Structure 1
Amino acid sequence: MLNFEYEGFADVAAAELQATRARSLADDLDRLLSGKQPFAEQLAKAPLLERWSVVAARVPVLQGIAIGHPSELGTFAPMSTAPLVIAAEDRRWIRCWDGFWRLGRIEDGQDSVWSDPSVTIREWR
């Protein structure tokens, strides 16, 4: 969350980062709305999430084992994604607030949560 004070944002750099992420997300949404798939380069650079599962939260996120994520946590680190915005029906990729993820194997027992839209909508609202 960004703090906005009378004089402006408390952390201008953080606000600029969120604006950049929002523009990137809008560009990706426009591309997908036009019927195009994510760029191959985008998915090639995207981290891989293995043994992932849906997390019941106020917003939809996935958690799993991150491979190739550019964070200080390192490779094969358990982590949660940023809020989920788009999910490919074939489960090959997702677009979160901050970027694309490639999806590996789903965690055991999660198939019904992913495939039943009434469950995901109810859980994520």
Structure 2
Amino acid sequence: MPKFRRYTLAELKARNDLLNADLDRLQRGEEPSEAELADAPFLDRWRLVGYPGFGPGAGRLCAHGNVQRHPRLPSGPCWTSPIVAMGDGWIRTESRFYALGEPYKPSPDIPDEVAEALGLKR
């Protein structure tokens, strides 16, 4: 598991300013541009889940899937930060936009009752 340094107050302010600007754009009906999504982390085999853990954001809606091109995480499984907006082929989390690939589809080999118990939709 990679270790991260804490953001400085200036970095947190810049991130919050960017989030607020993006939310203003989305509220006006604008969507992220193709260029923004081309530069965004790519999340494939994703599904919507509750944010894990007990800290801030716990239980809020996030996405889990296989990420590529993330600026802070290696490629592989990840949970996003809580989702604040979602559109066709993208999500905006508290930290950034993600381009979405294919949603997760459980294997047909998993019995229906097991898939249901795990919260997997077919």
TM-score with structure 2 length normalisation?
Answer: 0.69
| Structure 1 counterpart of 2:24 | 30
Give the match for residue 102 of structure 2: 105
Q: Distance in 1 between matches of 2:79 and 2:8?
A: 20
Give the count of matched residue pairs: 94
- More helix per residue: 1 or 2? 1
Q: Does 1:16 align with 2:10?
A: yes
SS in 1 for 2:8: helix
- Deviation of 1:98 after TM superposition, in Å, equals 0.8
Unaligned runs of 5+ in 1: 1-10, 110-125
Letter of the 1:98 counterpart: S
Q: For 1:67 and 1:26, how far apart are their aligned partners in 2?
A: 25
RMSD of the TM alignment (CA)? 1.7
Determine the structure 2 residue equivalent to 1:64.
65
AA of the residue aligned to 1:86: A
Q: What's the CA shift for 1:14?
A: 2.6
In structure 1, give the amino acid aligned to 2:9.
A
Q: Judging changes above 3 Å, is the alpha-carbon distance between structure 1 residues 53 and 25 closer, same or farther for their aligned structure 2 residues?
A: same
Unaligned runs of 5+ in 2: 1-5, 52-58, 107-122
Structure 1 window deviating more from structure 2 (26-35 vs 97-106): it is 26-35
Percent identity over the alignment is: 33
Q: Which runs of 4+ in 1 moved over 6 A?
A: none
| Offset from partner CA, 1:37-73 (integer Å, 9 cap, x none) | 2122211100110101112232111111001112252
Per the alignment, residue 80 of structure 1 pairs with 79
| Aligned-partner Cα distance in 2 for 1:51–1:31 | 28
Show the counterpart of 1:51: 45
Secondary structure class of the residue paired with 1:16: helix
CA deviation after TM superposition for structure 1 residue 30, in Å: 1.1
Report the Cα offset of residue 31 of structure 1.
1.1
Q: Deviation per CA, 1:55-113: give whole Å up to 9, x if none.
A: 2232111111001112252x3x111111111011x3x000001110000011116xxxx
